[in-house]
Amino acid sequence: MKSIVLAGVALLLITCQSSGPSAVQRGTAGEQVNSVCFTNQIRGWQPLSRNTIVLERGLNDYYRVTLNGACDATRSGLTMATESRSGICLGIGDDIDFANDFSPSCSIQSIHAWTPAPE
């Protein structure tokens, strides 16, 4: 099952900040988890590096996702597509594709709970 996440608001907030990385980007990783369920509740995402993003699912519910492959999250634009084998949960081995990144999709290598830094 494929779903599309439009993250214009999250990207706009990142772009409008002049003091460097956002509180979400300065956060810390928690325990490793097997999946992020209810993918239809993913509200946005922010790149941490070329192969690492932070997903926001619901209110104040964040996950650091490390990707394996040739995609580049820092050149991704506003749109991200996810392909989950279960259709409900996004897990290790599932795919993420960025619309403006002309490389193939990446597979999820690991998922960790994520806590944004205090603002």
Global pTM value: 0.79
What is the pLDDT at residue 6? 41
The SS3 call for residue 82 is: strand
Q: Is the pLDDT of residue 63 over 90?
A: yes
For 82-91, what is each residue's pLDDT tens digit? 899 888 999 9
The DSSP secondary structure of 92-111, one letter per residue, reads TT-EEEETT--SPPEEEEEE
Residue boundaries of the structural domains of the chain: 2-13+28-115
